[in-house]
Amino acid sequence: MKKLLVFPIFLLFVTSGFAQKWKPVHIDDSVQVSLPGEFTKKDTLGQILFNSESSFGEIMITKQPDNSISTPDIEKVKHLKIYYDDFIKRIKTSSNGIVSDERDTVIGKLQVKDFKLEIDSGSGKQYRMIRILHENSSTYTFQFLYKAIHEEYAKGESDTFFNSITIPPSAAVSTQFTDPENTTGKAPVNDSRIYLIIGAVVVIVLIIVIIILRKRRKRY
């Protein structure tokens, strides 16, 4: 009889998980999301962190204001995409995780970047579905974390979370660009540009060396 009760109890647990009520929460005047049940909010040196738990995962939202030490100039969409790519590289390096499912997408008119991060801490794989949004002089990071064993049931909650992210209709791509006083004053540089610059320097050095060698030969 006990064995027969296991399956109905499991179904009840799953059903109650999907029936969890999600409530709209304002991150600020620019961004709103829906979170399941209770949540915590912390403000540390200007960085705001929201944390909430769903039935099969955990939600983390961070808002990091632009600053003149680390935020590059973002004046064009291509700068924004380079900034997002660099952001992903830093997350990958710091977590030693595997990045997959990268894609550029939009919320309304705003450019965002989605990707999946796989981390194995030794006690089982954990996945993080992440969305990056730069808007209104801040970088927002939306994360849905879940364990591999919960992947089948966590997908519905993850979709509910990311689909709930909304921004004002008036927000445009131009509102994603930075204010000069809040940045380093330099545009973000991708790896290809770095290699081109290095290549150009090498070519210039070689030309100078060749000119010097020719002058020496003429002397002799």
112 with 214, same domain: the answer is no
200 with 179, same domain: the answer is no
104 with 205, same domain: the answer is no
206 with 180, same domain: the answer is no
Q: Rounded CA gap, 154 and 215, in Å?
A: 71
59 in a structural domain: yes
Residue numbers of the domain that contains 37: 21-188
- Mean pLDDT in each 10-residue stretch from start to end of the chain (220 residues)? 43 49 93 94 92 96 91 92 94 90 94 95 88 95 95 94 94 89 64 40 48 54
Contacts of 17 (CB under 8 A, 6+ apart): 54, 55, 56, 153, 157
| pLDDT at residue number 201 | 44
88 in a structural domain: yes
Provide the domain count of the chain. 2
The residue among 63, 61, 46 whose CA lies nearest residue 164 is 61
Give, rounded to a whole angstrom, the gap between the first and last alpha carbons of the chain: 104
86 with 165, same domain: the answer is yes
Strand partners, 107: 110
Specify the DSSP class assigned to residue 109.
T
45 in a structural domain: yes
8 in a structural domain: no
Write down the pTM of the prediction: 0.76
Q: Rounded CA gap, 64 and 83, in Å?
A: 14
